[in-house]
Amino acid sequence: MKISVISRGVMQVDLGDKTLKIQGEMYLDNTFVAYINSIKNWESPNNTVIGDKEREEIIRKISDYRNNLKFKIIFE
């Protein structure tokens, strides 16, 4: 897994061969507030819709991984 903030309002998550962009907001205290409702589909070439169970699994994986990051992630 690779997580990076590509702009003040977008975080990119690479899970295996799939990529996801999550909308949110980066604050000055190095906290990224990720909007759960923006987790809708995988980026190209997969372009598949993300269902509720898969969304929960993605959030769980990111939550488990976030201790390895230099910034904090909060889901709203």
Residue 13 token pair: 């998550």
What gap in Å lies between CA 36 and CA 5, rounded to an integer? 16
Pick out the chain residues at pLDDT < 50: none
What gap in Å lies between CA 12 and CA 30, rounded to an integer? 16
> Which residue is it, tokens 């976030």?
66
SS3 6: strand
In the β-sheet with 31-34, what is the strand arrangement from edge to edge? Answer: 2-7, 10-15, 18-26, 31-34, 72-75
- Share above pLDDT 70 across residues of the chain, in percent, rounded to a whole number: 100
Q: What pTM did the predictor assign?
A: 0.88
Report pLDDT for 68: 86
